[in-house]
Amino acid sequence: MKLEGERVTLGVTGGIAAYKAAELVRLGIKAGLKVRVIMTPNATRFVTPLTFQTLSQAQVRVDTFEAVVPDRVEHVALAQETDLLVIAPATANILAKMARGIADDLLSTFYLAYDGTTLVAPAMNTQMYLHPATQENLEILRKRGVVVLEPPEGELACGDYGPGRFPEPLHILERILDLLYQKDLYGKTFLVTAGPTREYLDAVRFISNPSSGKMGFAIAQEARRRGARVYLVSGPTHLEPPWGVEYIPVTSAVEMYQRVMDLYSSVDVVIKAAAVADFRPKPLTEEGAKFKKEGKEQFFLELEANPDILATLGENKGHQILVGFAAESQDLLENASAKLARKNLDMIVANEVTVGFATDTNRVVIVKRDGTFRHLPLMSKEAIAEAILDEVAGLFQGARSR
């Protein structure tokens, strides 16, 4: 679901993590948000407003009484122009002011004038964070509906170890996008598969393919942002699972088959972006042992067929929407359409083998059961995920209106 320039006001308060908020602004702008920064006077002692102004391409506000536009009440006007307020880093001081309604600078005054969703990322010394006063203030804010990001544990700038660290800017961005997205898939449960499978010959050697998992992870992330509950069953990848999805790592096709079958009856949609090995070698050794090459000029691998997971789901199709992928080296549409029919799918996403594996972009054709096609140009896997889920949302709408 596209964000159309949603307006985020980022409050930066006076803690050492203020410098990390600069990265958050950069990531937010890259994700298509309009970010405007309000700094407290203390925050400007850590980072200059110019840093945020350059990254956000917008004037940074610090002073309550500075008239940016003549005759306009700045904190009220700003509050009306904001879709989401994020305070990161949030010091113990701003949390206390928010909890008690103290308005003695532009940011705290803004907070009282604003009635939308607020996200805070507390970051401070561990003792300050654990102090009953701070914990009580956080409880008051939570009860009021403020979303509080728990600070991760770790080594702090002051040398202490414990909770109070500033979360990774990418994690904060993920929560921001999650709050801004329209929840058109709320109430639905998705099962997404991703990545390659590994089929071991002995303790260390395996047959696999170059799937990175990026396509499946992008779909899982998009579904989660749009409000769905998401299970992500993935073969080995280097990717971090998206925030909020239930991640189930697997290794082989047989293991993927078992996990998928366990979940099948409890989901509404299955999207199979994984590149599953069709065959596995019969083991060359006892379990845990390494095959010895000594004395052998050549040897033969005997392969046996893996279960076709998607075809099994198709044979047992109930209310679930089934979406497959097809990586083809020739006759893309004919082969993909044949797979759709053979595996009893609602939709199949066809891509050329030379384009889609292990890249950030892909060029696909979405083929539907009714025989219609939607050709998409080369685009990011995130944008493709969005298009696929628009089609799935369309199927739900179609089912409702029938």
> Which sequence positions are flagged as catalytic?
158
**CB of 381 within 8 A of CB of 264?**
no
CB of 242 to ligand PMT, least distance (A): 14
Interaction of residue 232 with ligand PMT, rule CB under 6 A: no
Nearer to ligand PMT, 337 or 351 (CB): 351
CB of 307 to ligand PMT, least distance (A): 6
Nearer to ligand PMT, 238 or 319 (CB): 238
CB of 266 to ligand PMT, least distance (A): 18
Interaction of residue 17 with ligand PMT, rule CB under 6 A: no
Strand positions, DSSP E, 123-245: 147-148, 153-155, 161-163, 189-194, 199-200, 206-207, 229-234
Nearer to ligand PMT, 308 or 390 (CB): 308
Among 18, 95, 326, 366, binds ligand PMT (CB under 6 A): 326
Among 1, 121, 219, 275, binds ligand PMT (CB under 6 A): 275
**CB of 77 within 8 A of CB of 109?**
no
Nearer to ligand PMT, 28 or 356 (CB): 356
Interaction of residue 310 with ligand PMT, rule CB under 6 A: yes
Closest CA to 186 of 142, 230, 232: 230
Nearer to ligand PMT, 14 or 216 (CB): 216
Nearer to ligand PMT, 141 or 309 (CB): 309
Q: What is the DSSP letter of 350?
A: E
Interaction of residue 308 with ligand PMT, rule CB under 6 A: yes
Cα dihedral 309→312→314→317 (10° resolution) = -120
Interaction of residue 87 with ligand PMT, rule CB under 6 A: no
CB of 146 to ligand PMT, least distance (A): 37
Hey, what amino acid is at 43?
A: A
**CB of 3 within 8 A of CB of 31?**
yes
Nearer to ligand PMT, 273 or 392 (CB): 273
Q: Give 388: exposed, middle or buried? Use CB within 10 Å, 0-12, 13-18, 19+.
A: buried
CB contact burial 319-350 (16+ within 10 A = b; e otherwise) = ebbbbbbbbeeeebeebbbebbeebbbbbbbb
Among 223, 253, 365, 388, binds ligand PMT (CB under 6 A): 253
Interaction of residue 212 with ligand PMT, rule CB under 6 A: yes
CB of 62 to ligand PMT, least distance (A): 44
Interaction of residue 274 with ligand PMT, rule CB under 6 A: yes
Give the whole-angstrom CA distance, residue 377 versus residue 363.
6
Binding segment for ligand PMT (CB under 6 A), chosen from 58-66, 92-100, 273-281, 366-374, is 273-281
What mask, x for binding ligand PMT by CB under 6 A, covers residues 342 to 381? ---------x----xxx-----------------------
Interaction of residue 278 with ligand PMT, rule CB under 6 A: yes
What distance lies between CA 207 and its chain's CA centroid? Answer: 29
Number of residues that bind ligand PMT (CB under 6 A): 26
Interaction of residue 322 with ligand PMT, rule CB under 6 A: no
Tally of CB atoms within 10 A around 115: 10
Q: Give 233: exposed, middle or buried? Use CB within 10 Å, 0-12, 13-18, 19+.
A: buried
CB contact burial 172-206 (16+ within 10 A = b; e otherwise) = bbbbbbbbbbeeebeebbbbbbbbbbbbbbbeeeb
**CB of 253 within 8 A of CB of 309?**
yes
Length of the chain, in residues: 402
Please report, as ranges, the residues that interact with ligand PMT according to CB under 6 A: 195, 211-215, 253, 272-276, 278, 306, 308-310, 324-327, 339, 351, 356-358
